[in-house]
Amino acid sequence: MKYLGIDYGTKKVGLALSDDGGSMGFPHSILPNDVRLFDAIRELITKEKVEAVVMGESRDFSGAENPVAEEARTFATRLVEAGTPVHFEPEMLTTQEARRDFEGIRTSGHAVVDSSAAALILTSYLSRTPVVEEPVPTGKPQISIDEFLKIEVKMGFVRTAERVEDTDKLLRLTVDFNEPNGPRQIVSGIAMYVETPEALIGRQLAFVTNLKPRTIKGLESNGMLFAVGEGDTFAFVTPDREVPPGTAAH
């Protein structure tokens, strides 16, 4: 998760960005606090794919708010209303700390100071925020049960099987689902998984039966073989006992 750190001042605003994992802040830039500030920060948020903002909470040693605090909160509210979450982090002493870089060497120039202060504010917040590991996708996107129920899988008997001319992988099958219009023609790329096409004749296999017809090598295919694996792990899906053709899988 990527963060933007903001050290808000009445004249200048220091900015810092975190690494993609959201573990540390790094000085980025400084912007003048003028009418273009909000749009400039929104552009940076979009460009850098920032998911949240951390702003310095300006208070003095007694805990009272500094004069700039109210203006900073108003600016934060605008960011939230634009869809970006904002977190506040106490910024006491960050400006003084920023006058030395992260290894203690003196720096010069307010631009460096302000952006480094933003980095310190951001790093302080991130150090107290557990890093959430993004889950690694392990498969296709999840679907709802309603989407799954749209898929129709039925058991059918293979009545004929032959190779499609000029191809190495395709077989043309006629499959009986006990439908009024008779067996369906289904073209399937499984030639490499059978010794001969004739070995499939008489077998009861599972097919997806509610796909829109599509033309493959000039042949209309009205379904798709339902199988598992590929290569050495390829296997047909069959019932453990014979069932009437057209029986739906659940």
Instruction: Encode pLDDT of 163-220 as tens digits.
Output: 999 999 999 999 999 999 999 999 999 999 999 999 999 999 999 999 999 999 999 9
Give yes or no: residues 123 and 154 share one domain.
no
Q: What is the CATH number of the domain that holds 115?
A: 3.30.420.140
User: Would residue 140 count as lying in a domain?
Assistant: no
Tokens 């996708």 identify what position? 137
Return the pLDDT at 162: 97
180 lies in the same domain as 113: no
Whether 135 is in a domain gets the answer no
Q: How far apart are CA 101 and CA 119, in angstroms?
A: 11
My answer on whether 229 and 186 are in the same domain is: yes
Among 127, 158, 188, the domain-final residue is 127
Same domain, 10 and 121: yes
Residue linked to tokens 């970006």 = 84
Residue 248 in any domain: the answer is: no
Q: Are strands 171-176 and 153-163 parallel, antiparallel or unpaired?
A: antiparallel
Same-domain pairing of 119 and 19: yes
Cβ atoms of 149 and 249 closer than 8 Å: no
Looking at residue 140, its pLDDT comes to 81
The residues, ordered by sequence, that sit 6+ positions from 41 with a Cβ below 8 Å of its Cβ are 4, 6, 13, 15, 31, 79
- Residue 241 forms part of a structural domain: no
Q: What value does the CA radius of gyration of the chain take, rounded to a whole number of Å?
A: 32
Count of CB atoms within 10 A of residue 11's CB?
A: 10
Q: Parallel, antiparallel, or unpaired for β 224-225 and 219-221?
A: unpaired
Q: Is residue 138 part of a domain?
A: no
User: What stretches in the chain show pLDDT beneath 50?
Assistant: 93-96, 98-111
Are 105 and 205 in the same domain? Answer: no
pLDDT at residue 145, as a whole number = 92
**Domain total for the chain?**
2
Please tell me whether residues 81 and 118 are part of one structural domain: yes
Q: Are residues 156 and 116 in the same domain?
A: no
pTM reported for the whole predicted model? 0.48
Q: Does one domain contain both 11 and 102?
A: yes
The two three-digit tokens of residue 146, written as one number: 């309603």
Tell me: do 115 and 156 sit in the same domain: no
Write down the pLDDT at residue 131: 63
Kindly state whether residue 98 falls inside one of the protein's structural domains: yes
Q: Kindly state whether residues 123 and 164 are assigned to the same domain.
A: no
Print the domain residue range for 38: 3-127
CA atoms within 13 A on the CB side of 140: 2
Examine residue 89 and state whether it is found in any structural domain, yes or no: yes
CATH code of the domain in which 219 resides: 2.40.50.140
Q: Which of 94, 127, 160 lies at the terminal end of a domain, its last residue?
A: 127
Whether residue 118 is contained in a domain is answered as: yes
Residues 55 and 98 in one domain: yes
